[in-house]
Amino acid sequence: MSHEVIQPPHQQGLISKSAANSIGIRQFYQLVLSNGQFIDKLNNLMFGKKKAKMMKRIFFTLMLVSLACPGWTQETYRNQFSSAPDTARYEIIQSELGARITLKIDKYDGQVYLLVESGKKLSWQLMAVEKHTQNKATPGKVNYQIFTSGLGVRFTFLLNVNTGATWQLAEHPEYKELFWSALE
């Protein structure tokens, strides 16, 4: 079995040596991927000519199918909810990561409740919120909102929309209960 040595693009005469030295790694890979000869030689070396041709066809077919049918490549679950006016006092928020974090917020006074299950019943449990030096609320108006990220529960925040006072959802290390930790 003979081994073919694959030379870099500048040694194949595809680009000059000075250009090869000045381009970054990203541009090099773009050049390598856009150069069919280099890819063909690499495939032939790895698989043999006949198998390389078949692998190339399979790869491109799979790429076309995955691009044409994005619904097959990922599952998306969206929570459904009705539209409440901006002035609504209460709102329910659920983390995209799961039903474990389902919150109800009183947007006027900043009280947040966690949906808990006791036995076979569901109920709202008032959550502890640490005192914040910048926390001031205007009576009878929306003062608070909750932001939750799909990246992780720790990226869930309670915000006073008037002052910018912010709390982060945290778990008490000893009691293993969720609470709102003040961010200064």
Task: Check residue 159 and give its pLDDT.
Answer: 96
pTM of the predicted model over 0.75 = no
Closest CA to 160 of 137, 183, 139: 137
Task: Check residue 42 and give its pLDDT.
Answer: 58
Task: Check residue 82 and give its pLDDT.
Answer: 65
Residue type present at position 40:
D
Low-confidence residues in the chain, pLDDT < 50: 73
Domain boundaries, the chain: 17-73, 90-183
Q: CA of 81: how far to CAs of 84, 117, 130, 131, 148, in Å? A: 9, 21, 29, 31, 16
Task: Check residue 21 and give its pLDDT.
Answer: 55
Residue 147, φ and ψ in degrees, nearest 5: -115, 130
